[in-house]
Amino acid sequence: MRKILIIYNKTAGVKSGIESVEKLIKKLEEENIDYTLEKSNSVEEIKCAYPDKKNIDYTDVIICGGDGTINKTVNVFHDRDIVFGVLPIGSGNDFVKILYDNLAIDAIIQKIIERKTQKIDIIKANDMYFINALGMGIDSQTMMYQPHLNKYLNPKVAYRMAAFLALLTYKPKKAKVCIDEEVFHLKTHIVVVANGKYIGGGMKISPESKINDGKFEIMLLQKTNFLSLIHIFMKLFKGTHLSNKHIIYKSATNVRIFMENQCFQAEGDLSGWTPLKISYGKKIKFIK
């Protein structure tokens, strides 16, 4: 018998997000599916509510939010035999572009009811997991600027403005990057490790990534001049940047990154500092 835990991030989305959650609840009630709704301002509240997460009796966790909420929830419940689903109501829904292919909310709710599943990869980074992408350099610098711009602009405009400011201000750093058996010493503007294809609300940063192939991709952008940098970033939206001579792009199962005094972001949240040890984690079940 299904028993669903709905995690609703109250800070993700606005009126349309609330309406989407209400649609989901109405459909569950019509289908006589048992559920519990947890409204939260942060996933840290969920950790406190479910400290003994291995012993919970839910069969499904439905995440109502964006990429950050998905990632944090997976980090709470990944070691439980549970099926995850997503109702995408966040400001960033890059993972869902792969999972549900831009389906309308009503169609996604129907998929949640039908509960056909697939196994997807999660990637381990030091002592945490991520599900879509992790980055540093211009990428993490963008996340430092965006919260201030969110007060005045809608999230997508704020992200692009923050990215432009990061392009202007971030100075490339020396890095040692070990990709399986290869070692690279370089100055880099950006390092992105990707399980999914998209970041930043639709930038196709890793066009060859698949979420179920047992590996991940890493992209390094070597030091170049500002005009070249702008040219490369314009190509990111369509995923046509990989042929540029300043790009290193590899598939991997183990990566180590050494950069001095460098923070990284995972799914839009600043999450820690280098050095980083990244490896293929395991598979978990998602509604497809």
**What are the structural domains of the chain?**
3-115 (3.40.50.10330), 130-281 (2.60.200.40)
- pLDDT band at residue 207 under the 50/70/90 scheme: very high
Helix axes 226-236, 155-169, angle to 10 degrees: 150
Using the Cα atoms of residue 82, residue 88, residue 91 and residue 95 in order, give the sign of their dihedral. positive
- Residue 226's pLDDT is 93
Q: Considering only 7-21, 74-88, 153-167, which range has the smallest mean pLDDT? A: 7-21
Please say if the pLDDT value at position 34 is more than 70: yes
How much is the average pLDDT of 258-286?
A: 95
On whether the CB atoms of residues 56 and 79 are closer than 8 A, the answer is no
Please say if the pLDDT value at position 147 is more than 90: no
- Residue 52's pLDDT is 61
Please say if the pLDDT value at position 123 is more than 70: yes
Of 39 and 165, the one with more pLDDT:
165
- Residue 40's pLDDT is 76
Name the token pair of 166.
């990061």
All residues at 6 or more sequence positions from 240 whose CB lies less than 8 Å from its CB, including other chains: none
- d(CA 49, CA 221) in angstroms, rounded, equals 41
- d(CA 241, CA 244) in angstroms, rounded, equals 6
Please say if the pLDDT value at position 88 is more than 60: yes
How much is the average pLDDT of 85-90?
A: 90
Of 48 and 223, the one with more pLDDT:
223
Please say if the pLDDT value at position 247 is more than 60: yes
- pLDDT band at residue 42 under the 50/70/90 scheme: low
- Residue 168's pLDDT is 93
- d(CA 151, CA 275) in angstroms, rounded, equals 32
How much is the average pLDDT of 216-230?
A: 96
Please say if the pLDDT value at position 53 is more than 80: no
Average pLDDT for the chain: 91
- pLDDT band at residue 84 under the 50/70/90 scheme: very high
- d(CA 215, CA 121) in angstroms, rounded, equals 8
In Å, how far are 2, 89, 119, 121 from 250, measured between CA atoms? 41, 32, 23, 17
- d(CA 183, CA 275) in angstroms, rounded, equals 15
- Residue 56's pLDDT is 73
Torsion-angle region of 128 (φ positive above 0: left; ψ -120 to 50: alpha; else: beta): beta
- Residue 255's pLDDT is 98
- Residue 159's pLDDT is 86
- Residue 12's pLDDT is 64
In Å, how far are 144, 149, 150 from 153, measured between CA atoms? 15, 6, 5
